[in-house]
Amino acid sequence: MKANKIIQSGMCVCPGTARGFIRFFRQNERYGKEDIVVMESWLTQQVMAAKGAGALLSKTGGLTSHASIIARELQIPAIVSVDIQSLEKSQEVIVEAEEEQITIL
């Protein structure tokens, strides 16, 4: 049986747990609860555009970034400053934001 890979990285800016599939953020796309959206940059307009997502992971961003406060306000589980290198499109993952943990299933 294949062991799950666990990534411990980043800072939680909105607690919560979500299970879904990795999608890299693209403008003008719609996201649903089954999408774990990965962003290269942590911008408020991107958080707003992905507000339907199950969880957000960002390579950049800090605790008090505008985008972090927006994600918290919208109650989307989110981790910023995540090492996103080993994440690939369509991978199934569980995001546990409070634990700053991503489990690749």
- Site residues (CB under 8 A) for another protein? 12-15, 41, 43-45, 48, 62-64, 66-70, 72-74, 97-100
Distance between CA atoms of residues 27 and 72, nearest Å: 21
Question: What are the phi and psi torsion angles at 45 (to 5°)?
Answer: -65, -30
Report in angstroms how near the CB of residue 92 gets to another protein at its nearest: 23
In terms of CB distance, is 12 or 55 closer to another protein?
12
Expressed in percent and rounded to 5, the helix, strand and coil fractions of the chain are: 15, 35, 50
Report in angstroms how near the CB of residue 90 gets to another protein at its nearest: 28
